[in-house]
Every structure is written in C-alpha cells, then in structure tokens.
Amino acid sequence: MAHLGFGNTCGSTSSAVDALFTRQPDVSMARDVGGGLKVVRVTEDSLLLPAAIDVIARSECGSTTTAPDPLLDWVYSPRTEGVYTPLSQPPSKDRVAWFRWMATYSAYFGMGRNGFYALVDQASGQVVAATITGPPGTIAFGRMSTGEMEYNLRKAGMAMAIEVLVHCRRNNVLGEWQGRAQEMAQLMKKHLYVLFFDTAPEWQGRGCGSVLLRFLGDVADADGVDSFLETAGTRNTTFYAKKGGYEEVHRSPVATFDFEGGGVAMRRLPRSNNINQRHDQRPMLAVPTASTSSCGGDNSGVCGGDNSGVCGTMFSPTSRAESNIVARVEKVERVDAPLTRGPAVDRLAGRPTVDGAVSSHPELALLHTLPKPDPDHHETQCAPEFVTAGHTFTAKRHMGPLASWCRICDHHQHEHAQAGGYLQRKCWDFRPVPA
C-alpha cells in the first residue's frame, strides 16, 4: 500500500542488506560488483524499470536461439520434445504478452519489498541481467493484501491477468508442486526466495549470471539466511550448484513435466560463522504456501515462492494448535508471562489429556518449567485461544495499515497466526484471562 502513501506495509530488506548499496547522484541505490558492472535496486521511479522487466520477459519467453524457462514454458504450452532447447519457431504475440505480464506482475511484487535488482553494464548503461526476490520476513504472494494485489494486477494488465490466473490451470498445478517442494526442503522460517533470475539473451555466456548470483549470495549472507529457488534441467542445476553454492533438496515430477526427474528445489546455506545472525534455527513447519513458476541458469529464470496469488495453495495437514505451539517452543525460555495451558499444550508437553494422548517430544519438556499462573491475578491479554508463547499479538493501531503489525515484535499478524495463535478476531479486543 506504499503507493497510497501509507509507507511500506509489505516488509522490506534489512538494514544490513541496505548497507551493501551506495546512494548515487540520481538517488538510486547501487553496488559496484566489478568487471564494469553494477547492481541497481529497481524501484517504480527507476528509469531502468522497463528494461529490467524486458530482460526477464524475453529470457523467460525464449526464442529460436535461447531456451525458455522450462517450467514456465510447460505452464504456457507443454512440449514433448526438446524441452530444454530453444523454440522451434519465433514466439507468437500471445506468448510474448503472456510472459511479459508474468514478469511485470512479479516485478511490482518485488519492488514492493525492495527485492528487485538489475545488473547494469556501466559503459553502455544497458540492463544485462535482472532478478526478483522475496526478502526474508516480507509478506509473500499468498499473503498480499487485496489492495496490493489489485494494484499489481492493474499495473500488469487486467485482461491478461484473467488469461494467466484463471484459464491456465497448469499454473495452479505448478504452484501446488512448489508448495510441496518448499515443505520437503525444511526451510528456515525466514529465507531469501529467488523468484526470477534472468540474463538478457544477447548477454548470455559472458558471466553476467555468475556475477548477479554472487551478489544474491552477499544479500543472503548479510542477513545470515538460506537462499531458495526452484528450477529444472541439468544445465540450470549445474549452474546454480557451481556458481552459487546451491544444493538440491527435492526433485519430483510436476504433473506431466517429468523430464530429468521433473522440477528441482535448491537451497544455499549462508556463509557466515555468526550464528546470531540467523533469524530462525529451526526448520519451518508446513504452512500455507504456493507461488508462480521456476527455472534457472545463466539464461533462464526462477520464479515462485512461499506464496499463492498466481498459483495454487498448499495447506499443512497437521493440527494447527500443535503446529503453532511446536513452532514457538524454542522461545519458551524467554517467556516472561505465564503460558496459558490447555489440552493441546498438555498433550505436547507429555501430560495425559482427556483423550489419554501423550507426546514424548524432548523439547516440549521445557513447558513443564513454565511458571504457573497466580490464581489471584487476572492478566489483561488476549483470550487463551489467541495466546502465543512469549506475547500476544498487539496491533500498532486500531485501524489502518498498522493494524496488521504487532507493536511488541514488529511482525505481521500472519506470522503470529502461523507461529502462535488463531487470529480469528482482532487481537486488540483484549479481555481478562480467567485464572
């Protein structure tokens, strides 16, 4: 909703990542990466925006001389032969428009989080490569507000939006596969997600992709988080492994796309010995995720994410109450206020419940050490079903954009919903918790 003057409500890059850049005379933020190249953060006011979108669209679309992104190519129109090769004929106008819409829509998503970067040749001023990322902790595709989604759709074009989002069912299939791949990858809750990674067709084979990939490594290392992407094909997986330090964490067919085993999920661990920089040391539990598409390599793109919007949605089959408590158990030792106990907590802590179920999870023994609530003390907080370990969600404002952000931890309410309590009602509607 930044376009409405409310500031950035989607989240943004951290101060550590911002420090990698230097403000230029034209007010843009850039980083010299050597070899006559620089990385520029692309914004809505940037003169590089059209060129950066064009690079992504052309690379993803493919041509008679360059291969398209294999997974997005399957989404648009499946091929049974030559899946990882250039197109047999020039792309049609419809195909070009389809891929340009996808690039534009995703570009506005990235710009809303300061995660859109262009690699620029300083001598010519040309954009030679571009990448769109979802910075750690920012609102993902599936969590976009209605206002942001509508804004992005209008910027990309509503007519084509119907074609891409409604008529193309393979888009949903790919999103569901990505949700499963992310679940299998056991990602940290906060990680750098690479949505698109593309080199301009005329600049491929000159090392531009390698330079931009190293830059993304610097971005992830600045925050001490994992990097994650989805791709397909030996050429692309080899590129990410050798040039970026990514390792394969999942491979499976995407419906009828089963060439070379199907889609591949890859993860890069942060290169930092400072464990305090890590946002979250526990693997994330399965939560609602989905996204758009994927690919990779020096000549193709990587799109997708723990989001939906463009694609389908995956939901965890596990109990929400148990998942939320387990996701927060590592913070139990820092709890200042008593944790309201209930059947779900008792079951996870190893105490028999009404149904006699007992959990023997070793970490949950920490719950026994929590102080018991004072029966004479009525603490003012959310009702028990809305309580999280540590603190309850407390809105910064009763109305407006800040109503979705917690004034205690500065996290969005959906993170509380994922990791602590059922935010089924407005959590500023406090009432005493019975003793």
Q: Give pTM, 2 decimals.
A: 0.65
pLDDT at 308: 29
The per-residue pLDDT for 8 is 61
What is the per-residue pLDDT for 108? 96
Question: Which fold does the domain 2-277 belong to in CATH?
Answer: Aminopeptidase (3.40.630)
pLDDT digits (tens, 9 = 90+) for 72-93: 999 999 999 999 999 999 999 9
The closest of 121, 130, 115 to 200, measured between CA atoms, is: 130
Instruction: Collect contacts of 60-63 with beta carbons under 8 A, ≥24 apart.
Output: 60/99, 60/102, 60/103, 60/196, 60/198, 60/295, 60/300, 60/301, 60/303, 61/91, 61/95, 61/96, 61/99, 61/100, 62/86, 62/87, 62/91, 63/87, 63/90, 63/91, 63/201
Output the pLDDT for position 393: 74
Rounded distance, CA 113 to CA 138, Å? 7
Cα distance between residue 304 and residue 230, in whole Å: 7
Q: What is the pLDDT of residue 140?
A: 81
- Axis crossing angle, helix 146-156 with helix 93-111, rounded to the nearest 10: 140
SS3 content of the chain, % helix, strand, coil (to 5): 40, 15, 45
Token readout for 251 is 């491979």
| Distance separating alpha carbons of residues 422 and 424, to the nearest angstrom | 5
Per-residue pLDDT of the chain (435 residues; tens, 9 = 90+): 444 444 567 889 999 999 999 999 988 999 999 999 999 999 999 999 999 999 999 999 999 999 999 999 999 999 999 999 999 999 999 999 999 999 999 999 999 999 999 999 999 999 999 999 999 999 887 678 889 999 999 999 998 998 888 888 999 999 999 989 988 888 877 999 999 999 999 999 999 999 999 999 999 999 999 999 999 999 999 999 999 999 999 999 999 999 999 999 999 999 964 433 444 443 433 333 333 333 334 444 444 333 322 333 332 333 333 334 334 333 333 333 333 334 333 333 344 433 444 434 443 343 344 444 444 444 333 333 333 345 677 777 776 667 777 777 767 776 666 655 433 333 333 333 343
Taking the CA atoms of the chain, what radius of gyration do you get in angstroms?
Answer: 23
Taking the C-alpha atoms of residue 293 and residue 299, their distance in angstroms, rounded to an integer, is: 15
CA atoms in the 13 A half-sphere facing the CB of 26: 11
State how far the Cα of 74 lies from the Cα of 62, in Å rounded to an integer. Answer: 12
Q: End-to-end CA distance of the chain, in Å?
A: 41
Domain boundaries, the chain: 2-277, 320-432
